[in-house]
Amino acid sequence: MTVVSPELLRRFDVPGPRYTSYPTADRFVEAFRDRDYVLALTQRRLCGATALPLSIYVHIPFCESLCYYCACNKIITKHHERAELYLDYLGKEIDLHVAQLGAGQQVSQLHLGGGTPTFLSDEGLRRLMVMLQRNFALAAGGEYSIEVDPRTVDAGRLALLAELGFNRLSFGVQDFDPKVQKAVHRIQPAEQVFALVETARTLGFESVNVDLIYGLPRQTPESFDQTLALVEQLRPDRIALYAYAHLPDRFKPQRRIHAEELPGAEAKLSMLSRSLEALMAAGYVYVGMDHFALPTDALAVAKRQGRLHRNFQGYSTQPDCDLIGLGVSGIGRIGATYSQNAKTLEEYYDFLDRGRLPVVRGLALSRDDLVRRAVIMALMCQGELLFEPIEQAWLIDFRQYFAQELEQLEGLAAHGLVALGSEGIRVTSMGWFFVRGIAMVFDRYLQADRNRARFSRII
């Protein structure tokens, strides 16, 4: 495997976005409100058959216990009746979308995230899926996934998820080391996860994903090797390997983590490098940045065929989609707009009580935003950018339009992170460690605003 020198680490391990969108969500403005979102929905309806495929994300914010590393929008409670009221309001939000788009819009991708979606009772999960299936047409062969906290499910609940139409599961593991689990307040024995994954395979789920996090308190490269060895035995179809972002000023739960117990930057880089080596030696395809997949998994196939995409849930096999974000803090993309719902239950409920979609901020993308989004997503997904397709699609001279950016890339090329040619840009094997940093070169907002402290570090 490529060895990244300490000098490169010091130079390029800087804060930066993950680019699940461009422009990034921190650029959303409160001037974009529900009326702007309604206009975007109207424009989609008028497009008719030429509209982009549709994806739905549903945010379930509730969790029974607090994980100290978590940066998600969540509500810690053991009162499960709160979820019943929440489902009432999700129904209202769905009705408002149907009023704008019409019933029966075909959906090819559905994802339930959180929080903990499996906080919902069996009856709650049934009720949610009935609401969605009554108002949207879930396409045959679509991707229907749900995030699962292993502590909240058993074999019976997994059978229910299969019955409801979910075909992909994502288990939150993070680390198998009991010392690390104790430090982040998330105890879940490896035996429990192994049993659930075996059950999921028996039930016929098409893909099982496991989430891991490196950089957590009390982790060392050696201890994380042990977690990786267990994951190799578990052999999930996909693995998401995330770097922990310690931002206690932004995320209050992280203040319970002792900073002196966090591994340093070079230890984190060692974990990443060793993870790459171990997982690829075990037969996984390095899809990009934080995703691995077995060669037969749809994600790896999309990577080989150049069909990989990136959205608010990370890498995806689905083509460029419009996205409806349902629930508190849900983020959507319709046409050339992004939108985000209210972040508190009180405000979310208040909007819906007044018969209004709960959008409180968003962004209408400019032509320059769209050009740069195409460039950044090509680098993040394919690791290669050809000038000619961008020039033809957007009627620009790439070298002239991005003259300043190409000059900056020469410095990255000198360090072996990118290869610059007459026809395009290619991310090298070394450059994949820093692909977020390469994409940052084309981020007009970030280049104009050097205050990057709000982002996690790219390694």
Q: Annotation-wise, does 115 bind a ligand? A: yes
For the chain, the maximum distance between any two Cα atoms, rounded to a whole number of angstroms, is 61
Q: Any binding-site annotation on 72?
A: no
245 known ligand binder: yes
Average pLDDT over residues 310-339: 90
CATH number at residue 50: 3.80.30.20
2 is in an annotated binding site: no
φ, ψ at 363 (rounded to 5°): -160, 135
Number of helices (H) and strands (E), helices first, in the chain? 17, 19
What percentage of the chain's residues is helix, strand, coil (to nearest 5)?
A: 45, 20, 35
What pLDDT is attached to residue 315?
83
Is pLDDT larger for residue 165 or for residue 276?
165
- Hey, CA dihedral for 187, 192, 193, 199, is it positive or negative? negative
Range of the domain at 51: 25-324
Please give the average per-residue pLDDT across 26-50, as a whole number.
Answer: 94
> Are 227 and 158 in the same domain?
yes
Q: Is residue 200 part of a domain?
A: yes
- DSSP letter at 91 equals H
Residue 347 assigned to a binding site: no
Q: Is 331 marked as binding a ligand?
A: yes
Q: Are 304 and 439 found together in one domain?
A: no
How many Cα atoms are found within 13 Å in the side-chain-facing hemisphere of 410?
5
User: What pLDDT is attached to residue 3?
Assistant: 59
Residue 63 is assigned to a ligand binding site: yes
For 414-419, which contacts have Cβ atoms below 8 Å and span 24 or more sequence positions?
415/8, 415/11, 415/12, 417/12
Question: pLDDT tens, 116-163?
Answer: 999 999 999 999 999 999 999 999 989 999 999 999 999 999 999 999
Same domain, 126 and 209: yes
Q: Any known ligand binding at 348?
A: no
pLDDT digits (tens, 9 = 90+) for 366-425: 999 999 999 999 999 888 999 999 999 999 999 999 999 999 999 999 999 999 999 999
Q: Measured between alpha carbons, how far is 159 from 198 in angstroms, rounded to an integer?
A: 12
Helices (H), 382-454: 387-394, 398-401, 403-414, 435-440, 444-448
Three-state SS for 177?
Answer: coil
Residue 359 counted as domain residue: no
pLDDT band at 452 (very low <50, low <70, confident <90, very high): low
pLDDT-derived band at 51, boundaries 50, 70, 90: confident
Distance of alpha carbon 394 from alpha carbon 407, whole angstroms? 21
Residue 405 is labelled as binding a ligand: no
Q: 46 lies in a domain?
A: yes
Section 267-293 average pLDDT: 87
Query: Is 423 part of any domain?
Result: yes
Q: 105 a known binding residue?
A: no
Sequence-separated (6 or more) residues with CB below 8 Å from residue 231: 173, 176, 210, 212, 239, 279
Tell whether residue 242 is among the known ligand binding residues. no
d(CA 253, CA 71): 8
21 token code pair: 């969108």
Q: What is the CATH number of the domain that holds 395?
A: 1.10.10.920
Residue type, 370: L
The reply to whether 279 and 218 lie within a common domain is yes
Q: Which residues pair with 138 in a beta bridge?
A: 107
Residue 264 annotated in ligand binding: no
The answer to whether the annotation marks 186 as part of a ligand binding site is yes
Q: Which helix (H) or strand (E) holds 379?
A: helix 367-381
| Helical segments of 13-80, H only | 34-47
CA proximity to 210, closest of 176, 192, 236: 236
- Is residue 434 domain-resident? yes
Judge if 175 and 287 occupy the same domain: yes
Q: Is 403 annotated as a binding residue?
A: no
Q: What is the DSSP string of 269-296?
A: HHHHHHHHHHHHHTT-EEEETTEEE-TT
pLDDT band at 310 (very low <50, low <70, confident <90, very high): confident
- Averaged pLDDT for residues 87-115: 96
Higher-confidence residue of 301 and 288: namely 301
- The secondary structure of 143-175 as a DSSP string is EEEEEE-GGG--HHHHHHHHHTT--EEEEEEE-
- Do 8 and 67 belong together in one domain? no
Average pLDDT along the chain = 92
Q: Quick one: pLDDT band at residue 459, thresholds 50, 70, 90? A: low
Q: Within a domain: residue 334?
A: no
For residue 430, the Cα-to-chain-centroid distance in whole angstroms is 23
pLDDT beyond 70 at 458: no
285 and 200 in a single domain? The answer is yes
Q: What is residue 413's predicted lDDT score, i.e. its pLDDT?
A: 95
Is residue 420 a part of any domain in this protein?
A: yes
Q: What angle do CA 108, 109, 110 make, to 5 degrees?
A: 130
For residue 5, pLDDT beyond 80: no
Residues 106 and 59 placed together within one structural domain of the fold: yes
**Which tokens is 335 given?**
């046409």
Q: Mark whether 318 and 424 lie in a shared domain.
A: no
The stretch 219-240 carries a mean pLDDT of 97
- Strand bridging mode 105-114 / 54-60: parallel
| Residues 177 and 255 grouped into a single domain | yes
**211 in a labelled binding site:** yes
Residue 17: its pLDDT value, please?
87
Question: Is 351 contained in some domain?
Answer: no
Number of domains in the chain: 2
170 with 283, same domain: the answer is yes
Within 8 A by CB and 6+ apart from 78, the residues are 64
> Do 29 and 131 have their domain in common?
yes
